[in-house]
Amino acid sequence: MYKIFINDKPFILCKTEEAASFSNELEVLSHPNPAFYMDWIRAIESTHHKGTCVICDEPTELFEKVKSNFKTIQAAGGLVFNNKNQVLLIKRLGLWDLPKGKIDQGENKYESAIREVEEECGMKELTILDEYPCSFHTYKLQGHRFLKQTFWFKMQSSFQGKLVPQIEENITEVKWFNWDTLNPGALDTYQSIREVLYAAKKIN
């Protein structure tokens, strides 16, 4: 199964047995002609659309076709936990988010994830413990479509210094949240980030 967020709305490619949990919420296309996948994407890009679940025999094959119409950007970030079982969130452009950023040339995803957290939050002493499922979201820039694939890591930190938001990246606040009581559904955030938090809660 693949879940891509388009304008913060889900575009899901899955097999029949995976579709049951989405059928009551989204438009469901059962084994449609894959030649029209860009029409589905353009429909989701409209403001009134809630998202689409496409049932297909080969989700990976269809995903690769969809991907070919976007410029792919790879990014990495982290869910950082301290010894109080708190998780670190940042406020970017008025919404809560997770620290992440583009993988630079010559970096691997692990190095990038640590660097981005350090830069965006002003902290050190980070250790990667585990890897969560990656996320996908799209955006448009100067008339081009981009697909961002973000690799997510569970991190631990004993850092006790002052957290410093990276203002030049539109980050205005860095804050620890109690992980046990954090409700992703009530958080003022992007749906794609909400999904990452839900997935992490299931794994943890």
| Greater pLDDT, 135 or 27 | 135
Q: Percent of the chain at pLDDT above 90?
A: 78
Can you tell me the distance from the alpha carbon of 46 to that of 48, in angstroms, rounded to the nearest whole number? 6
Average pLDDT over residues 190-198: 94
Can you tell me the distance from the alpha carbon of 89 to that of 95, in angstroms, rounded to the nearest whole number? 10
28-68 confidence digits (pLDDT tens): 899 888 888 889 998 898 878 889 999 999 999 999 999 99
pLDDT of residue 17: 87
Mean pLDDT (the chain, rounded): 93
CATH topology of domain 71-203: Nucleoside Triphosphate Pyrophosphohydrolase (3.90.79)
152-169 confidence digits (pLDDT tens): 999 999 999 999 999 999
pLDDT of residue 150: 98
Query: In which band, very low, low, confident or very high, does the pLDDT at 70 lie, cut at 50, 70 and 90?
Result: very high
**DSSP bridge pairs for 152:** 77, 132
125-156 confidence digits (pLDDT tens): 999 999 999 999 999 888 889 999 999 999 99
Q: Percent of the chain at pLDDT above 70?
A: 98
Can you tell me the distance from the alpha carbon of 113 to that of 150, in angstroms, rounded to the nearest whole number? 10
**How is the chain split into domains, by residue range?**
2-67, 71-203
- Statement: the pTM of the whole predicted model exceeds 0.95: no
Give the β-pairing of 71-81 and 144-157. parallel
105-119 confidence digits (pLDDT tens): 999 999 999 999 999
Q: Please check the confidence at residue 23 and state whether its pLDDT lies above 70.
A: no
Is the separation of the CB atoms in 200 and 132 below 8 Å?
yes
Q: How far is CA 172 from CA 113, 119, 121, in A?
A: 20, 13, 10
